[in-house]
A and B are shown apart, each in its own frame.
Chain A
Amino acid sequence: MSYQFDWSQVWQHRDLILDGLLVTIALSVAALVPTLIVGMLIGTLGASTSRAGRVAAGLYVETMRNVPLLIHMYVWYMALAFLRLPAFLCAVLGLTLYSSAYVAELVRAGIAAVPRGQARAAAASGLRPWQVQVLVVYPQALRIVAPSLASLASQLVKDSSLASVIAVAELSYQAGAIEGQTFRTFEVYITIAVLYIALVLLISFAIDHVPGLRARRPIARIADA
């Protein structure tokens, strides 16, 4: 067992790795934004008083979440072939549908954790239903689930590697390509592992510093009455 590390091969292909990194970032951001929006909407529906709304939200969550992401990738890539959508968009779609189901569950739990009296009091003060949600319920619900949302965001970044199966040239795809040319398996995969770690840490750091999202204020209730 005397493996000779040779990092020069990795360095030679640094442009490919950088390209892959940029695509991974683009893919993650492109999927994260609609994931959060769709997740918020479905989660709100799931927490609503309308039975039909809750059933619809439940159906969405169970179908999207219980299909492996790998299958999502293939299905949307194949199914939308006739639209000639770029693979990148199919990957965004697959990631969004899959991850938004998890976000929806988080949001639903967060909303359920906000005491109902809060929404009542807000409604009693003349706020309209959407204002009650946006001004009073969401800020509290999101604070409650912020740590879980952050870990979900990092999950999404790592999940984006599955887009490689539909030939989206993101980080893992490029790694495979370089490995195929150079046979420097360890060097290549160690490099991209480090890049993923750096990326996820960066995202966690960013989320921690979104004003208002960080649970600075413990939400104490009537406690000391």
Chain B
Amino acid sequence: MSGSPLIVLDRVCKQYGTTPVLRDCSLAVARGEIVVVCGPSGSGKSTLIKTVNGLEPYQSGSVRFDGEEVGARGTDLPRLRARIGMVFQSFELYPHMTALRNVMLAQVHALGRSRAEARERALALLARVGLTERAEAYPADLSGGQQQRVAIARALALDPVAMLFDEPTSALDPEMINEVLDVMTALARDGMTMVVVTHEMGFARKVADRVVFMDEGRIVEDRPAAEFFAAPATERAKTFLSKIIAH
């Protein structure tokens, strides 16, 4: 089983009305692999990774997670989602709960852990993202970088087999980006399977095994990171890279 890829997308198509959002997207992510998805805005990156945990339905093709068809009728999506951590651009911490309770919530209600167990696990994870002192703080009292680190802890608390990151640093001030990227880098070093939508090419260069470049709903490049950065194969990717690296 460990030989077959954990995430497999096969010719996935999605459209809103008549506007295509994903066109024949195929992608395989092996266990422990780190894939960075980049591309201009509106190219379908976020939509693509959200098909993996069923947040975005698709019209044709297939998405399999650990052998299970995500879009199939009989699939127990909540159970599947509990095995996939997700981190959002806008953090989405629950504003009516402390950081600690944010990290505990799904442990108790989705996994059925006891409160004591969930609390212990939450405190360990908050320590891991460097926020032990802020456990009792409400999201409104945390900086953006701190909120995003809590969000990462919240996702990790479910002991996921893979993590999806949807532009995790795009809503952050420049000086807070690194504190989040450091946590993500550490996670990558620990062998977590990660699919990361980001424009942080420095991060991609450092930790990604592969880079997927999307444009207009298509995967136009899917290559080992080193190759991609050395010489993008397509003109589109070249212009994109030169534009975002220029400043």
Residue of A nearest to B92 (CB): A121
B171 adjacent to A225 (CB under 8 Å): yes
A117 adjacent to B90 (CB under 8 Å): yes
Q: With contacts A121-B88, A125-B154, A217-B96 known, is A135 near B105, CB below 8 A? A: yes
* Size range of the chain A interface in the assembly: 20 to 34
B92 adjacent to A224 (CB under 8 Å): no
Chain A 122-143: CB-based contact to B (< 8 A → 1; otherwise 0): 1111111001000110011001
A120 within 8 A of B: yes
Q: With contacts A124-B55, A224-B143 known, is A117 near B78, CB below 8 A? A: no
Partner of A218, one of B83, B140, B154: B140
User: Chain B residues near A115 (CB, 8 Å)?
Assistant: 90, 92
Partner of A117, one of B79, B92, B154: B92
User: Chain A residues near B122 (CB, 8 Å)?
Assistant: none
B109 adjacent to A127 (CB under 8 Å): yes
CA distance A220 to B139 in the complex (A): 8
Most chain A CB inside 10 Å of its own CB: which residue of B55, B78, B111: B78
CA distance A117 to B81 in the complex (A): 16
A126 adjacent to B106 (CB under 8 Å): yes
Q: With contacts A123-B55, A219-B140, A220-B140 known, is A128 near B95, CB below 8 A? A: no
Chain B 188-205: CB-based contact to A (< 8 A → 1; otherwise 0): 000000000000000000
B94 adjacent to A136 (CB under 8 Å): yes
Q: What is the CB-to-nearest-CB distance from A215 to chain B, in angstroms, rounded to a whole number? A: 10
CA distance A135 to B109 in the complex (A): 9
Interface size on B, residues (CB 8 A): 35
User: Chain A residues near B111 (CB, 8 Å)?
Assistant: 126
Within 8 A of B (CB), among A87-141: 115, 117-118, 120-128, 131, 135-136, 139-140
B184 within 8 A of A: no
A221 adjacent to B95 (CB under 8 Å): yes
A217 adjacent to B109 (CB under 8 Å): no
User: Chain A residues near B172 (CB, 8 Å)?
Assistant: 225
A210 within 8 A of B: no
Residue of A nearest to B53 (CB): A124
CA distance A123 to B56 in the complex (A): 12
A1 within 8 A of B: no
Q: With contacts A217-B140, A224-B144, A225-B171 known, is A127 near B91, CB below 8 A? A: no
CA distance A118 to B144 in the complex (A): 16
User: Chain A residues near B53 (CB, 8 Å)?
Assistant: 124
CA distance A121 to B91 in the complex (A): 9
CA distance A172 to B216 in the complex (A): 69
Chain B residues near A (Cβ < 8 Å):
53, 55, 78-84, 86, 88, 90-92, 94-96, 105-106, 109-111, 138-140, 143-144, 147, 154-155, 158, 171-173, 176
Chain A residues near B (Cβ < 8 Å):
115, 117-118, 120-128, 131, 135-136, 139-140, 143, 217-225
- Taking A125-B158, A222-B144 as known contacts, 13 extra A-B pairs with beta carbons closer than 8 A to each other, sorted by chain A number, are A124-B55, A126-B82, A127-B78, A127-B105, A127-B106, A127-B109, A135-B109, A140-B95, A219-B95, A219-B140, A220-B140, A221-B95, A222-B171
A-B contact pairs, 15 of them (CB 8 A): A120-B88, A126-B81, A126-B106, A126-B158, A136-B94, A140-B95, A140-B96, A219-B95, A219-B140, A220-B140, A221-B90, A222-B147, A223-B140, A225-B144, A225-B172
